[in-house]
Amino acid sequence: MKVAGLFAGIGGLERGLSAAGHESLMLCEVWEPARTVLAARFPDVPLAPDVTALRALPGGTDVVVAGFPCQDLSQAGMTAGIAGKRSGLVGHVFRLLDRRPAPWVVLENVSFMLHLDQGKALRLLVEAFEERGYRWAYRVVNSLAFLPQRRERVLFVATRTDCDPADVLLADDRSPPERPTALDTHAHGFYWTEGIRGLGWAPDAVPTLKNGSTVGIASPPAILLPTGQVITPDIRDAERLQGFPTDWTAPAAMVGRASLRWSLVGNAVTVPVAEWLGRRLAMPGRYDISRDAPLGTDGRWPKAARFDGVTRRRVEIGAFPVRRARPPLADFLRHHGKPLSVRATRGFLERTGRSRLRFPPGFLERVRLHLERMEGGAGPDRAAPGRGERVPALAAE
């Protein structure tokens, strides 16, 4: 298919679709650091600077893809909703479709959009597509199916063709693998910025990589190693945790602070998720209609649903379309991590002391020992992953 990429970011959707055999006709991205990455990594693809100024989609566009801004929809953001200044930009997708309809549309966003304002954001989207004659399907997909990062995102596929979007998005389903872990054998990732109301952590994985801030304040997760060291991962491993090659975002440092790379990675679409979707776009499977269930009338949106042109239905399906073999997080990491600072560690422990959160036995003790080593100057400047210093990842919803 010929792809027009709107809100392209650093090209996660487009790189994944390209790996599945599709071709980008155009990219559009407003943020200069992201545009610099796109220009370097997709040098032969025309790059438009602003979706609001884009007059029309390229002729011959088969599929429009848009990871539209999530800041107004995210739990971590302003939660202003679909009408927020940034997330409301998705309206330009429909403006462009009205001028030149495309057979297929793929949207990606945070799973919180299903609940925000009692589902108003998603309701507006599905009504807009239905008014334009599109059938649709959506599903929450977890990047853990592909890589050691727990990251749930909504994929939304709509089409005006005879193909059923459910055959693309809802034909594959696997049970999540059981991954027994222990603090002295596996890496555990967690968010050191939390500790009172919640602790985002993942066994043998990292929690969702966040976007940090547009002025370059990074927000990497921490990783507790089996040795008891607590580190934050190198940006190059963060890129790999999203499925990009090492230093994919390096060109961004030419136009801004190097720490902006964390925002670029945190905002990106996980590449192998996009590749899986791209392969199903090229070769749809067969949806099992026994998964259909009544959508309900309480206004709540489930984690998966579809519209066949007549009726909206809830779909009983999990967040793992596939189950890829992958190394443990400790073996996945290739680059030196940075020890979590005294200030950050002390702040985390202080917050957990005031909370009612429950932690795995030994977890807080290991974090306290890390603090003691750092305060005593015994900690190394950098902590290297590898056998014997494996990086345990603590992940809790």
Q: Which of 70, 224, 305, 319 is catalytic?
A: 70
Report CA 314 to chain centroid distance, whole Å: 23
Cα atoms in the 13 Å half-sphere on the side-chain side of 151: 27
The angle at the Cα of 219, spanning 339 to 355, to the nearest 5 degrees, equals 85
Helix (H), strand (E), coil (C) string for the chain: CEEEEECCCCCHHHHHHHHCCCEEEEEECCCHHHHHHHHHHCCCCCEECCHHHCCCCCCCCCEEEECCCCCCCCCCCCCCCCCCCCHHHHHHHHHHHHHCCCCEEEEEEEHHHHCHHHHHHHHHHHHHHHHCCCEEEEEEEEHHHCCCECCEEEEEEEECCCCCHHHHHCCCCCCCCCCCCCCCCCEEEECCCCCCCCCCEEECCECCCCCCCCCCCCCCCEEECCCCCEEECCHHHHHHHCCCCCCCCHHHHHCCCCCHHHHHHHHCCCHHHHHHHHHHHHCCCCCCHHHEEECCCCCCCCCEEEECCCCEEEECCCCCCCCCCCCCHHHHCCCCEEECCHHHHHHHHHHHHCCCCCCCCCHHHHHHHHHHHHHCCCCCCCECCECCECCECCCCC
Q: Is 70 among the catalytic positions?
A: yes
| CA–CA gap between residue 56 and residue 98 (Å, rounded) | 9
Residues that are catalytic: 70
